[in-house]
Amino acid sequence: MFNISLTDIHRSYIDCLNRQDWPELGRDVNADVLHNGRAFELSGYRAMLARDFTDIPDLHFQIELSVSEVPQVAARLAFHCSPKAEFPGLDIGGRTISFAGNVFYEIQDSKIVSVWSIVDKDAIEEQLRR
């Protein structure tokens, strides 16, 4: 029951990102959200995500694996997209790259309160070397 609920909240959050429905983000994300241990507040978190979509116009979050146990969800996200310039600190220049992100979310009172995210930079570098 709880597990289904956490998974639902996470899916709703991912759908919200993919729609770029920024006014709705606060439905699934707490006002004092932490990202990689840093306090962002919802406004800062929203701004970071909106900037990601500006920098990567075809950005799309796809859930590849999902593991849920109260109060956490862990998800492996798959990306196939074309960052216009630098990402993450690498000169992509519009090339299409594929990579994964492994992310942990802590959910309290039906909202994401903390996110621990790592992007597979090694995989991107390998594609740039080809």
CB 80 to its own copies: min, Å: 15
Q: Which is nearer to its own copies, 31 or 118 (CB)?
A: 118
Quote the tokens at residue 75. Answer: 């998800």
Contacts (CB under 8 A) with its own copies, residues 29-68:
65, 67-68
Q: How far apart are the first and last CA of the chain?
A: 46
| Residues in Cβ contact with 46 at an 8 Å cutoff, skipping those fewer than 6 apart | 22, 25
Question: Using the rule CB under 8 A, is 104 a contact of its own copies?
Answer: yes
The one among 50, 74, 113, 127 contacting its own copies by CB under 8 A? 74
- Give contact residues for its own copies (rule: CB under 8 A): 3, 65, 67-69, 72-74, 76, 88-89, 100-104, 116-122, 125
